[in-house]
Amino acid sequence: MIQKALYPEGTAVCHAVVIHPPGGIAEGDRLSLNLEHGQGTHVVITTPAATKWYKAPSRPAQQRVSIRVGAGAKLDWLPQENILFDQSWVETSFQLVTEFKSSGIGWDMISLGRHASGEHWHRGSLLMENQITDSNDLPLWVERTIFDAASPIRNGPLGLAGFSIFGILWAFGEACTPVLAESLAPKLPFEEDIRAGVSCLPGGVLLIRALSRRTEALRNAMISWWSWLRPIVHGVPAQSLRLWAT
């Protein structure tokens, strides 16, 4: 459900907080979100807390997100991170359709294990499907990731390289070009605790992929990248969400 519509940036931009009343996704749960953005609207969508994926040894827990961004509309999709409990079996799907001259910025963050509680992700599996298409069903970005807790991808140099927290920020719109990606690349970190890289697909989708050892570090990095991109992609100044400070 939508907790409340807020307008901290004035009437032109609606901020909406999506609430999942149980506070987490348990074994066998199937959660679906279907969002439609009208022509010329600007919506900021976030969540009040991290999404918790509980132990699910027998049946997968599923989340399906479907978004359609109307012509000339702007979307900021800014959910807080996903925390996978040990023995969680997670399947997620994200599908977005863009209309003429629409733009969007969003992210997804995953923590494999509850690090604040000292729990690691020793058993479980993760399936992530992401897709952005235009209104003619032409794929602009299609990606499928699947691995389990014992997969060598977790420590491989072409995989997670030993990091247990990762995320991806995507952006689309007329401003998302290889030149923009190249200008952003020098600003991205490559350090012991966090590293990131950027690319731009031919269909005009910009992607920043990041690995981190701390959830807070990744979250702060995502916010900084969104703040830098928003005036360029949407033509609207960035404004931190009040919810992030609570």
Q: For the residues 210-229, what does the mean pLDDT come to?
A: 96
Q: Which of 232, 197, 204 is CA-nearest to residue 98?
A: 204
Q: How far, in Å, CA of 214 to CA of 147, rounded?
A: 21
Q: For the residues 43-55, what does the mean pLDDT come to?
A: 93
Residues in the chain: 246
Is the pLDDT at 21 greater than 80? The verdict is: no
Scanning 56-100, the segments in alpha helix (DSSP H) are none
Q: What is the residue extent of each domain of the chain?
A: 2-245
The pTM of this model reads 0.95
Q: What is the pLDDT of residue 246?
A: 63
On the 0-12 / 13-18 / 19+ scale of CB atoms within 10 A, 104 is: buried
Q: How far, in Å, CA of 143 to CA of 167, rounded?
A: 14
User: Which tokens belong to 52?
Assistant: 């918790």
Task: Report the percent of the chain where pLDDT is more than 90.
Answer: 86
